[in-house]
Structure 1
Amino acid sequence: MTTRKLSLLCAALTALILSPLAQAKDEGLYLGVSLGAATINQEGSDPDLGDFEIDSSDFAWKVFAGYQFNGVLAVEGGYRELGSAENSLVKTDPYGIDVFVIGGIPLGPLRGFGKIGGIYWDNDTDFADTSISDDGFDLAAGLGLEFELGSFAIRGEVEYLDVLDETWMYTLGATFTF
């Protein structure tokens, strides 16, 4: 048997063996919670204080619900608190409601996924003697890895949120599919 035929045979056998594993993700409604940190970057100016810059990290969390259509496609929405970022002049407290389309690559009990969507965010920035409120709907995207144990899964994620100038969220969480 030639090397090419042997390679094709091995690839076909591997695909045959892994095909049931590729559909291991439970389908249906799921709920989840994640804890971690958010890094917030913001630049701005105040008439009294002048220019300011915040580059700070704080505890962050989110709760979410979604629907897994199959091992590859899901939709998800949630609420997140991004912590407080501050420096000696300014303190900011963003939070938001998000919605995502998620594409996954199931590999047995592991599943890599990417997500893209948007976040409606609200933020209060406090200066020494004044407060400014700001909100918007902006881009949100992320990458993650999930370890599935039947209906229960543990997930780690990195998400970019176009909140303020730039916000990154790093979390570890769990989901339960009904």
Structure 2
Amino acid sequence: MKRIILTTLSYLLLSSFAFASEDMAMNKYKGFYIGAGIGTTNFNIKGVGELFDDELTGYSSESDGMSYKIFTGYQFNRIVALEAEYTKYGNLKHTFEFDDEDFTVKTKRNSFSLATNIGYTFDNGLRPFSIIGISKVFDKHSSKDELNFKLKEKGGSVRLGAGLDYQFAGVRGLGIRTAYEVDLYSDSRVGSWIMGVTYKL
């Protein structure tokens, strides 16, 4: 009888340890995380000439400054996470060239996004991922030449991205991220390459 009891207790203890180990393995992929990053800004627009009835003879744009991002999210398992992000893009400078005169317009752009982060977390800490979601974008346009105007705009866009996370094995919760993300409109897009740090709470 004692042998049966000891055998049963041993089985229960081993089973509990196995389940606990499995739960711990699952839990290390779950939880809240925060992060911040810095990177470049790039911008592309199409159909500019159509806005001016083909009177435009030239157009160019360039970015001035870096993009900054802060983000937070919750990872449900190895594959799926939900992520919210604030992005402050570098200022954009637009130059419109006409036959007799050139005009310059500067744009300051910020966005808030909510996206699904889908990837796979490997045991070595690497996690390639892609992002798909929506953004709310806020623009401030201004010009100091003869146009002399200020204009605020806001609207929605599609947020897409792809990147790679890495969690350090020796430092609990600390990781790094590199990614490219872009806000897509019907006639333009603005994006950024970023390098950042993450911390899982």
TM-score range, shorter chain: 0.7 to 0.9
Runs (4+) of structure 1 exceeding 3 A deviation are 22-26, 42-47, 50-54
Q: In the alignment, which of 159, 164, 185 is matched to residue 140 of structure 1?
A: 159
Q: How many residues align?
A: 155
Worse overlay, 113-122 or 162-171? 162-171
Matched with 1:73 is 80
Larger Rg: 2
List gaps (5 residues or longer) in structure 1.
1-21
1:91 and 2:106 are equivalent in the alignment: yes
Worse overlay, 38-47 or 155-164? 38-47
| Aligned counterparts, 1:16-31, within 5 A | 26-31=29-34
Distance 1:162 1:40 in 2: 10
Q: Which amino acid aligns with 2:35?
A: G
CA shift digits 1:95-136 (9 cap, x unpaired): 011111011122221110001001100101112301222111
Q: Any idea what SS the aligned residue of 1:142 has?
A: strand
Matched with 1:62 is 69
Matched with 1:36 is 39
Indicate the structure with greater strand content. 1
Matched with 2:98 is none
Provide the alpha-carbon RMSD of the alignment: 2.3
* Structure 2 contact 29–76 (Cα < 8 Å) conserved: no
Q: Which amino acid aligns with 2:113?
A: D
User: Sequence identity, in percent?
Assistant: 24
1:170 and 2:193 are equivalent in the alignment: yes
1:106 and 2:121 are equivalent in the alignment: yes
Change (3 A) 1:56 1:175: same
* Structure 1 contact 42–53 (Cα < 8 Å) conserved: no
TM-score, length basis structure 1: 0.77
The Cα shift of 1:41 comes to 2.5
